[in-house]
Amino acid sequence: MANKHINVGVGFSKEKDSYKAVQSAVKQALKPLKGKTPNLSLIFYAGKDYDAKEINKGLKELLKGTEFVGGSTDAVIFKEGLYPEGIVVASLQSDYIHFGVSSIENVTKNPKELAKKAITEAVKKIKLDSYVDSYMAFSRVKKGDITELIRIPSFFVYTFTRGYKPDKMGNEDLIIDGIGEQIGKYIPIFGGSLGSDMDNVFNNTPYEIVSFHSGKIMKDGLITVFAHTDLKYACSIAHGGVTHGKMGYISKIEEHGFVVSKINDQPVIDWYAKQVGVSKKLFLSKLLYYTQKFPLGFPDGYGNIIMRAGGVPHPKGLAYIAPFRENTPVWMMNIDDKKNLKKTNEEITSDISNHIHKKIIPEFSFLVSCSSRRRIIDHKIYLKEINNFSKRCKIPLFGFCSFGEIGCKSAEACHFHHLSNDLFDLYGELLSK
């Protein structure tokens, strides 16, 4: 839909042929731009039969040298629907937003340092208009509202990294730390871990995770997009989980924190079974079910609780996608409280409205939702969440299901999350207005 400050198009296809599917989705996304060149396009796909090379071929042909990023996922989100098979594309065009894009392969080698390198290169690629952007910055200062300059910086980051594989941890915490150390901890970072069908993780079925960057295909990639914006934006994240049982603390870790061995000086399996209220034998027989339904959560220092998706069996305890630290206080969480789950959307949208200080209809609404969330909570509740997000958009809701969410509450530091809905809104209204 056209807007005087930004044009955004979103396309979707369930066509089985990879090349035809991406061609269809891209054409839909470009149509609302009315011939204008997109500043950035985002592409996500899900489904075992799609071929990355054919998708990349179609993207290069239609997007013709412009920047595009994305990759493989567990499922894609379009309008009010969730699709385990399909391709979604979003194209953004505006004279009031500039993107610098960088990507790095083999991020596993040194995640934190390579994240620093990637975001530095992305920042260097920003090309500002010496007249328009200087005037926009002057207009913001002229308003005299210094608090707004602090609360909503003229910068944000999209980042997409290769999610968990049995032989390669995602290291998302290290990546977030690297980006934050380079550009500051309070520049909003939004995105998530790319992935595949999450059932493959639990079935021990081999899978690949694909990342795209403007014609480059990566299997162990990190993508960073640094944005300088004169347009208003906001983001928030929530999960609707509630604490269950007594607080404990991580008393022993292994494998650099990726394995929890003891909680409260008790073997983690013993502690967990007691908290759930079942025998150790029953807990072990349904371990993945219980650790998904009752994940561990820990405080982030701002009054929020960050959750880690269910642990998987390990000889030394329970293995997790992201690391824990010793002495971290933890709760066992319950994400099956239907009354509280229904507040997830309300919490996110209220947070965003309060941050913007007004209710504005977003020109682009980007949702990253956890792959585990859609498997654990009631399916009708989950689809209603998506539907409610979709109703508030001018154009189709866009997004994907991730192996982990990278995000933050408005004006707070970014963390790596699980089992959450992570929302980013971009508006057609100027920051200087």
Q: Decide: 320 and 166 in contact? Cβ < 8 Å.
A: no
pLDDT value of position 138: 67
Q: Decide: 333 and 223 in contact? Cβ < 8 Å.
A: no
- List, as one string, the DSSP characters of 179-204: HHHHH-TTS-EEEEEE-S-THHHHHT
Reported confidence tier of residue 431, pLDDT bands at 50, 70, 90? confident
Q: Decide: 260 and 320 in contact? Cβ < 8 Å.
A: yes
Residue 256: how many CB atoms within 10 A of its CB?
Answer: 10
Mean pLDDT across the chain, nearest whole number? 92
Lowest-confidence region among 147-151, 230-234, 301-305, 316-320: 147-151
Q: Decide: 311 and 418 in contact? Cβ < 8 Å.
A: no
Give the integer Cα–Cα distance in Å for 107 and 119. 13
What is the DSSP-derived secondary structure letter of residue 348? H
Residue 313: how many CB atoms within 10 A of its CB?
Answer: 12
Q: Which residues contact 179 (CB under 8 A, 6 or more apart)?
A: 115, 116, 118, 119, 157, 159, 189, 224, 414
Give the integer Cα–Cα distance in Å for 407 and 234. 11
Domain ranges of the chain: 7-238+342-430, 242-334
For residue range 412-430, what is the model confidence (pLDDT) as tens digits?
889 999 999 999 999 999 9
Q: Is the dihedral of CA 332, 406, 185, 235 positive or negative?
A: negative
pLDDT over 50 (residue 2): no
For residue range 74-87, what is the model confidence (pLDDT) as tens digits?
999 999 999 999 99
**Identity of the residue numbered 231:** L
Three-state SS letters, 292-346: HHCCEEEECCCCCEEEECCCEEECCEEECCCCCCCCCEEEEEECCCHHHHCHHHH
pLDDT value of position 235: 96
Which pair of tokens denotes residue 242? 């509630």
Burial of 136-170, coded b for 16+ CB within 10 Å and e otherwise, reads bbeebeeeeeeeeeeebbbebbbbbbbbbbeeebb
Give the integer Cα–Cα distance in Å for 359 and 90. 23
pLDDT value of position 1: 40
Give the integer Cα–Cα distance in Å for 82 and 77. 5
For residue range 47-76, what is the model confidence (pLDDT) as tens digits?
999 999 999 999 999 999 899 999 999 999
Write the burial class of residue 84 (CB in 10 Å: 0-12 exposed, 13-18 middle, 19+ buried): middle
Q: Decide: 157 and 189 in contact? Cβ < 8 Å.
A: yes
Q: Decide: 176 and 186 in contact? Cβ < 8 Å.
A: no
Q: Which of 75, 41, 52, 179 is nearest to 402 (CA)?
A: 75
Average pLDDT, stretch 106-127?
96
Q: What is the pTM of this model?
A: 0.91
Q: Which of 219, 235, 225 is nearest to 71 (CA)?
A: 219
For residue range 97-107, what is the model confidence (pLDDT) as tens digits?
999 999 999 99
